[in-house]
Structure 1
Amino acid sequence: MSESPYKGKTGLRRVVNACGYSLAGLRAAYACEDAFRQEVWLACLLIPLAFWLEPAGVGRALMAGSVLVVLIVELLNSAIEAAVDRVSLENHRLAKRAKDIGSAAVFVALSQVGLVWACVLLS
């Protein structure tokens, strides 16, 4: 079994490559994924709001962190959807299951934002 030719990179070259791939992924997600774009704008609103509301330091971290978790989960969901679509655009129960589970993960992450914000603001 052969591995990716990119696996041989080490040191600073690997770090530079990884940063480039990460930025390309963020650009692609923002350009191609409506949900990610919406969640980025939501994060641009909520993260500064978390600091403006002035909860305790841990509360700020929880509020901002919960919003960032949504972005992380949405990126993973988008990657799953892209991989499934790459394999086949045909309707298949396993493809639907994979996409539905990814969507459910985003829903749980968004629910967590509401729960964390309510707990911090109402305490």
Structure 2
Amino acid sequence: MQNKPKYNLFKNTKYALDGLITAVKTESSFRLELLCSIFIIAGILYIDTTLVNKLILLITGILVLIIELLNSAIENVVDLCTKEIHPLAKNAKDIGSTAVMFTISLHVTCWFFILIN
């Protein structure tokens, strides 16, 4: 592959941080989920439960952010390929959104079962 640079820890970290900055600047859903994660982390620290339960809540909360970033990447690639409304482009975006929805549902379900326990 021509455009694949040689691995460099510092450059790759900069690319990752550039991606995070871009997501915060351009993706309203990611900004909202990032804001919610502040309150979620506070809630995790506040509730009286086991360390394992707190880790489950933290991991599923971070998973929401990760899947949202992947969904945003999919949407950007689709927009790069076509500006037209195409059934396959719609499917790709909808499936990415479904992944985010399932991850949020998983996180909420974990909260539910941990809180009622």
Same fold (TM over 0.5): yes
Determine what percentage of the aligned residue pairs are the same residue: 34
Find the partner of 1:43 among 37, 42, 59.
37
Q: Give the CA deviation at 1:3.
A: 3.0
Q: Is the 8 A contact 1:54 1:60 kept in 2?
A: no
Q: Give a deviation string over 1:10-42, Cα, whole Å, max 9, x none.
A: xxxx11111101100000001000000000001
Q: Alpha-carbon deviation of 1:47? A: 1.2
Which consecutive aligned stretches of 4+ in structure 1 deviate over 4 angstroms post-superposition? Answer: none
CA distance in 2, matches of 1:5, 1:75: 21
Deviation sequence 1:35-69 (CA, Å, 0-9, x none): 00000001011012111113100000001111100
In the other structure, the counterpart of 1:34 is 28
Query: In structure 1, the residue corresponding to 2:84 is in which secondary structure?
Result: coil
Q: Distance between the aligned counterparts of 1:105 and 1:72, measured in 2?
A: 11
**1:44-83 → structure 2 map (5 Å cutoff):** 44-83=38-77
SS at match of 2:71: helix
Could you say which residue in structure 2 is the equivalent of 1:101? 95
Q: CA RMSD in A?
A: 1.0
Q: Give the superposition deviation at 1:5.
A: 4.4
TM-score normalized by the length of structure 1: 0.91
Find out whether 1:4 has 2:3 as its counterpart: yes
Partners in 2 of 1:106 and 1:5 — Cα distance? 29
Give the gaps of 5 or more residues in structure 1. none
Paired residues, what number? 117
Report the AA paired with residue 81 of structure 2. Answer: V
Alpha-carbon distance between aligned partners in 1 of 2:91 and 2:106, rounded to the nearest angstrom = 22
5 Å matches for 1:11-22?
Answer: 14-22=8-16
